[in-house]
Structure 1
Amino acid sequence: MSNSIVSRISGSVVVATDVEDAEMYHVVRIGELGLLGEIIRLEGNKATIQVYEDTTGIRPGEKVINTKRALSMQLGPGLLKSIYDGIQRPLDILREKSGDFIGRGVTIPALDQHIKWEFIPKKNKNDEVQEGEIIGEVQETPLINHKIMVPFGVNGKISEISEGKYTVNENVAEIKTTNGKSVVGLSSWWMVRTPRPVFRKLPPESPLLTGQRVLDTFFPVAKGGTAAIPGPFGSGKTVTQQQLAKWADSSVIVYIGCGERGNEMTEILTTFPELEDPKSKRPLMERTILVANTSNMPVAAREASIYTGITMGEYYRDMGYDVALMADSTSRWAEALREISGRLEEMPGEEGYPAYLGRRLAEFYERGGKAVVISPEKRVGSLTLVGAVSPPGGDFSEPVSQNTLRVTRVFWGLDANLASRRHFPSINWLTSYSLYADDMDEWYKHNISPLWTTLRKEALGILQRESELQEIVQLIGYDALPEPEKGILDTARSIREDYLQQSAYDEVDTYTSIKKQFLMLSTILEFGRLEADAIKKGVTSTKISSIGTRKDLSMIKWTKEDGVEQQVEEIKINMKNQFKELVMEVSH
């Protein structure tokens, strides 16, 4: 042990010699402060270590102690409502212990070691159980029942199990196996870089409803799907991801602030605890975990924060919950990989990123999915991954964006021009796409309307036609267009302004149910069809723009959910009557 010493330091990377029983990804403690690090390369008797804390003051000759365990995290009751840093240290407890800035070498358990949780057994003594089977529950929050599962690789008969109050480190059951006895505690440890195994991945069947009209209607992501939100600075990536975290139709939310600016994470940390879950009317934090790693925190910990978050997401997926994970942003994570790769003097790939960037991104997104988890009852859970990408200058051809698009099936392309026109969410409907839309046709037909897919395609077609006509308008002017083309532009403007534009800060408009979305879109398109028919009969677009229901269309999105059905019905009746009067005027 005394021979395990630091020989060289380069930023967050330390080289040590003769680390005892060294293996890849073992966690080590460095120096008198016990700085946390992870072995990422072995060459002979030399171990290269990435350190998750500031290495200032570390000098050659300091001791390196190997914990002989891979980077792992404690999973159990108490994860929800918590705010962690990149290596699962609770930030609120860290602040009490070391002040506003994280002290170096501070070790704090991820879960409160003193709270006693009420364990309710779901199995009895002498019951045969298998790996992944639920043997009991803990009411972690009023929204989430925490399932206590048999560890992987354990099969046998329960020899001891009892109801009562336990801490996360106490055992609640004992299982007699062929190899002896195995204990089950309220918490377990899992390596963050190793995906939790599943029995079988399932195809996408149902959408993750977000309440954001442009996403749910035009570019839906499936539960268990993968989505990317690339966009330049100021285009609304963070606000869009925050909206998803607030409103997504998931049981559990994991939000990872990976290398973002401190003010953005501060907004999340201050607003999320005050938000109300729209379904249960309980605090949203009761089903949320926040992982905060700002740009001034150690770079290596930024790289670990992605794995910390996704491991927690997999844990709740294994319980049978639908989990949504937001990573903001994977570009900062890739920059951490680039910096560490540079310290290791590896051969760089495109734009200095490591050559294995694409593989690392693929490995991350592959951990999502809707799956039958390992359990006798074949529980089904889902883990949806949404990653923001911050390409420099909004250049989507850069390596992180391109590698992300290769492995994700939904592309929500943010547009700086839309953002500058104050059109939010500024998702470009001409460049974005979803490869899940056709797979979920049956769900929409059975749960919303058989007309849903037709309406969606009709609206996208009108927006595409508008884009083509805008080029002509720039050449000859709007007034020179034929009346039918003016009608198309009119309908497209209504889709853009009355439907796609949505205010994240308005109490009503911030969230739109899928039922209300269908009513809104069908009404706008019906107006467009009536307008086209009236133009054919001689009514001018100028005349049509003055009718009252045109203004009524723009008011639907401000109407509360319980009153929208009646309002739409009245608008449709008035619309038909007003168009009938216009046609009669022309015919006379």
Structure 2
Amino acid sequence: MKERIIGRVKRVNGPVLIVKDITNAMMMEMVRIGEQQLVGEVVKLYDGLATVQVYEDATGICPGDNVYGSGMSLSVELAPGLIGTIYDGIQRPLEKLMEASGAFISRGLSYDAVDHGKQWEFTPVVEAGTIVYAGMVIATVEETSRVQHRIIIPPQYQEATLSEIVPAGSYTVDEVIATLVLPDGKQQKITMVQKWPIRIPRPVASRLALKQPLVTGLRVIDTLFPLAKGGTVAIPGGFGTGKTMTQHSIAQWCDADIIVYIGCGERGNEMTDVLREFPLLVDPRTGQSLMERTILIANTSNMPVSAREASIYTGITMAEYYRDQGYHVAIMADSTSRWAEALRELSGRMEEMPAEEGFPAYLPTRIAQFYERAGFMRNLSGSDGSVSIIGAVSPPGGDFSEPVTQHTKRFVRCFWGLDRQLASSRHYPAISWLDSYSEYLGDVTQWWNDHSDGSWYENRLRIMDLLQKEVRLQQIVKLVGPDALPDTQNFILEVCSLFKTAFLQQNAFDEVDRFCSVEKQVKMLAVILAYYEKGMEAINKGVPMVKIRRLRAVQEMARMRLTVKGDELDKIDKIQLRLERSIDQIGGIYEN
């Protein structure tokens, strides 16, 4: 169905069109172009002309083609049925597109984001006559075995009277399930589907302090550089350093309720692997497929560049919708560098003045607008929810000084820098303990201390101090060799080497090591520091370092990440006890 004609194409420059004879058009309005009804968006209005960016292949568009306005901004459908679906950058279901056109997507295809013919089991939780307000939950739908979809009053209706609500039963998302009487006396019909503009953040009651960590099960992250729920983090790294694998591991094991994975401009074969592997991943909480709490957005590097630019807004709008229902959502954006390159290409075609390395001058603003939509929020309904953003950055040549990485560092509070040397030596996750940092330490310390014996923060400081000392000692070793150092300094090198292999390194394919609980991390760190303290005492008594290193308990400690399961933490206590006794025994011999 064609909407009203608002103009005609004057000039075509790839995905950017100049439209003339503009009548009654709005900024950011969604439009359709030509007889094929290609999707586009108005991004500039001036002197009777408009600039439109097209979200599909613009081949075949000619000057003179009609442009049809929709009267609304580019929006997403929000309703039961989003979970487990694979979308493109403008929320078209890829499986439906493949059924209609095969492996290569035809232009002008348009499908609803959710199945409007499927019936859902609807259960009201309020009665007719209730005073309702924006964001209030009025019913529930079992979307998957993992996610209970909560039907909420759309944010535009601040207060109203619920005059009617249908009884429990099976309904489609298009059927009227409630009727509101607004303060002016008008009636408003409510269905289970809402629409929301992708570039406008959904409203909340307030932003709350970040106090809970997003537990990922990766020791180098949780212990050294924790991310708070509702926080933002950048994962920069060159090709092959493990950005995507790190995000996959976090998606599977983190304690977020819902995962939104945005493949933004990545290689087609890599995205294909994601689409094939994600449905096969098992949710460790339920034993079901991980797709039962995941939404995938796939916009590969060979897809239209404009849709790549829109894809991250599509993803975060869906994330905010589930946050409004009281869920904790984690977004994996892979990668924001490709999104920035899409901005650069579109900006160049619109003949805007370039800034550093050709990126548009508004690049920092766009990056800030994206990351600022994260947060731990008090929703309009009074529930709490969060959106955590984990954004991968792909700097050319691994150069962290390039604009996208530098601007991203300004707006995120956590930085997991991937190191090529670590990746080359098969040390995964290849997160550098020298380049990375987290500003959430003070926020989550109380939570960590509550879930440990209160020693987490102090122990973390001690091990980070040892790692810094190791860097300085390694510089000396490179000049004069390890034999020139006394045993007390060589032991620091030994402990740090053990810490890297026994703690920081983690095998994603090992049944035991792929996830490490908070309790296990605390105990593992404690036993390594106990080894350092007891070892230094023994060395000061004259015990040779080689005697300490060869102890059987030290070998057990080096393997504990692979041998101690999450429900066998008492084994770590026994390792520590044997270790301390063995070192004390050797120390006693040399002391006497």
Q: Structure 2 length normalisation: TM-score?
A: 0.97
Q: Which residue of 1 aligns with 2:523?
A: 519
Q: CA deviation at 1:3?
A: 7.5
| Residue 275 of structure 1 pairs with residue 281 of structure 2 | yes
Measure the CA separation in 2 of the matches of 1:153 and 1:475: 68
User: What amino acid is the match of 1:492?
Assistant: C
Alignment pair present for 1:462 and 2:470: no
Matched letter for residue 283 of structure 2:
D
The letter for the 2-side match of 1:253 is I
Residue aligning to 1:24: 27
Contact preservation (8 Å) 1:166, 1:186:
no
Give me the whole-angstrom Cα distance separating, in 2, the residues matched to 1:73 and 1:505: 37
Give the match's secondary structure for 1:292: strand
How far does residue 584 in structure 1 lie from its aligned partner after superposition?
2.9
Q: 1:245 maps to which residue?
A: 251
Distance in 2, Cα, partners of 1:536 & 1:216: 33
CA separation in 2, counterparts of 1:82 and 1:3?
A: 34
Q: Deviations over 1:285-337 (max 9, x none)?
A: 11100000111100000000000000000000000110100100000000000
Structure 2 residue 179 is the aligned partner of structure 1 residue 174: yes
1:293 aligns with 2:299: yes
| Gap regions ≥5 residues in structure 2 | none
Aligned length: 586
CA contact (8 A) 1:221 1:436 kept: yes
Secondary structure in 2 matching 1:209 = coil
SS in 2 for 1:4: strand
Q: Is residue 548 from structure 1 mapped to residue 537 from structure 2 by the alignment? A: no
CA contact (8 A) 1:29 1:66 kept: yes
* Residue of structure 2 in register with 1:93 after alignment: 96
What is the CA-CA distance between 1:505 and the residue it aligns to?
2.0
> Do the aligned partners of 1:370 and 1:380 also contact (CA within 8 Å) in 2?
yes
Question: Which whole-Å CA distance do the structure 1 matches of 2:251 and 2:567 have between them?
Answer: 26
Name the counterpart of 2:11: 8
> In the aligned structure 2, how far is the partner of 1:559 from the partner of 1:202?
40
Note the 1:200-349 alignment, pairs <5 A: 200-349=206-355
* Matching of residue 142 in structure 1 with residue 148 in structure 2: no
1:491 to 2:488 alignment: no
Aligned-partner residue type, residue 447 of structure 1:
H
Which has the higher mean CA deviation after the structures are superposed, 362-371 or 27-36? 27-36
Matched, 1:430 2:446: no
Q: Distance in 1 between matches of 2:563 and 2:86?
A: 35
- CA–CA distance in 2 between the matches of 1:2 and 1:300? 22
**Matching residue of 2:170:** 165
2:196, 2:142 → 1: CA distance?
22
Q: Which residue of the partner structure matches residue 353 of structure 1?
A: 359
Q: Is the 8 A contact 1:235 1:414 kept in 2?
A: yes
Secondary structure of 1:221's partner? coil
2:207 corresponds to 1:193:
no
CA distance in 2, matches of 1:386, 1:412: 10
For residue 560 of structure 1, report the CA deviation from its aligned partner. Answer: 4.8
1:277 Cα deviation after fit: 1.1
Q: Is the 8 A contact 1:19 1:66 kept in 2?
A: no
Q: In angstroms, what is the RMSD of aligned CA positions? A: 1.1
Deviations 1:481-510 (A, max 9, x none): 101001111110111010000112222211
Could you tell me which amino acid in structure 2 is paired with residue 431 of structure 1? D
**Higher mean displacement: 250-259 or 238-247:** 238-247
Amino acid at match of 1:216: D
2-structure distance, mates of 1:158, 1:485: 73
Residue in structure 2 matched with residue 506 of structure 1 by the alignment:
510
Cα distance between partner residues in 2 of 1:140 and 1:25: 32
4+ residue runs over 4 A deviation: none
The whole-number CA distance in structure 2 between the counterparts of 1:515 and 1:267 is 33
Q: Percent identity?
A: 49
Pairwise CA distance, 1:149: 0.6
Query: What's 1:411 paired with?
Result: 415
Aligned-residue offset at 1:18? 2.0
State the alpha-carbon separation in 1 of the partners of residues 443 and 521 from structure 2.
20
Say whether the 8 Å CA contact 1:8–1:15 is kept in structure 2: yes
Q: Distance in 2 between matches of 1:519 and 1:453?
A: 13
Q: 1:298 to 1:568 in 2, by over 3 A?
A: same
Q: What is the Cα deviation at residue 587 of structure 1?
A: 3.1
2 CA distance for matches of 1:317 and 1:295?
A: 29
Deviation at 1:441, TM superposition (A): 1.3
| Secondary structure of 1:160's aligned partner | strand
Q: Deviations over 1:226-276 (max 9, x none)?
A: 100111111111111111111111001000000001121111111111111
Task: Write the distance in 1 (CA, Å) between the matches of 2:543 and 2:361.
Answer: 62
Distance 1:271 1:2, change over 3 A: closer
1:39 to 1:524, Cα distance in 2 relative to 1, 3 A: same
CA distance in 1 between counterparts of 2:550 and 2:452 reads: 33
State the secondary structure of the residue aligned to 1:509: coil
- Give the CA deviation at 1:153: 3.0
In structure 1, distance between residues paired with 2:550 and 2:332: 44
Q: Distance in 2 between matches of 1:384 and 1:560?
A: 31
Could you say which residue in structure 2 is the equivalent of 1:394?
398
Length-normalised TM-score, structure 1:
0.98
**SS of residue in 2 equivalent to 1:113:** coil
Give, in angstroms, the shift of residue 585 of structure 1. Answer: 2.9
